[in-house]
A and B are shown apart, each in its own frame.
Chain A
Amino acid sequence: MDRKKQQEAYENYVKKKTPVHNLPVNMAKAFITGGIICAAGQSILNYCEKMGLNKDISGGWTSMILILASVILTALNIYPRIAKWGGAGALVPITGFANSVAAPAIEFQKEGQVMGIGCKIFTIAGPVILYGVFTSWVLGFLYWIGKIAGIF
């Protein structure tokens, strides 16, 4: 018990001693970066719709173009620099997700197509995919229950 208290005391002390990123500044940068990426997405969407594509297809094109752009920027080592400045603003949009798949693919390529890229491409994105699917399953189940109960 005593040891635990000591550990906690040290942890708190270290927390005080350790510099952290300035939160408001980081939030502002994230807002700008995320905003620019989303604005780019919106303009692609608008352009597609203007060209006469329906809403679903336009959305598909928007995602694909953003993903492609992110993968190319990752390969050119530009995307990490954007994220270094923009933080969560670059990580949260679909471009961040694309980067988290492209980066391991590049890094582990040397370990082979199967054991390298195949096994490790989803090391970062894997949990997001798993729990994303799982969460939608849970929500779907609740929705189904709710429907039977007549709530929705």
Chain B
Amino acid sequence: MAHLAKLGGLTDELLTSLTSKSSKTEAAKSNAQKESALRAFRYNNYARTNQFDVASQLEGLEEKFRVYNEDPLADALKERVDKVMKLQSKWTPEILHLLLELSDRPLQNSKLED
């Protein structure tokens, strides 16, 4: 029960963080969004994160940056990934998996100055 409450609280924070920039949605819509998010978190058919797949996707992306002459981006990515692997957080593969899922055409859109 405590776990559910914690998940609910974090989901609330996520909703506020992602929707506050647009304008406050009505309470009913917000509740529906929360219910839907919690359902997705608790009952889903996604496979567990495979750390080797994640590593291979990141290596592939680094290689793609190099092929398209974006060596500074490739170097920056490699440096950060190596660093995060050294810090050895238990959830590193899962967090990297999330970032890869959310990644939106980094070759075209990512700029090192950002």
Question: Do A and B form a real pair?
Answer: no
A interface residues, Cβ below 8 angstroms from B: none
B interface residues, Cβ below 8 angstroms from A: none
